[in-house]
Amino acid sequence: MLIFWIGAFITFFLDRITKFWVLKWEGNFCSLTSFLNLVKVWNKGIVLGFFSESGIILQFLLIVTGLGVLIVAYLWAKKSDKFTKGALGMLSGGGLGNLTDRVLYFAVLDFIDLHLMGYHWPAFNLADVGITLSIVILFIKLFNKN
Catalytic residues: 110, 128
User: What is the C-alpha separation between 76 and 10, in angstroms, rounded?
Assistant: 19
Nearest to 98, CA basis, from 83, 90, 108:
108
The amino acid sitting at 74 is Y
Q: What is the distance between the terminal CA atoms of the chain, rounded to a whole angstrom?
A: 23
User: What is the C-alpha separation between 125 and 115, in angstroms, rounded?
Assistant: 15
User: What is the C-alpha separation between 29 and 6, in angstroms, rounded?
Assistant: 32
Nearest to 75, CA basis, from 88, 62, 91, 90:
88
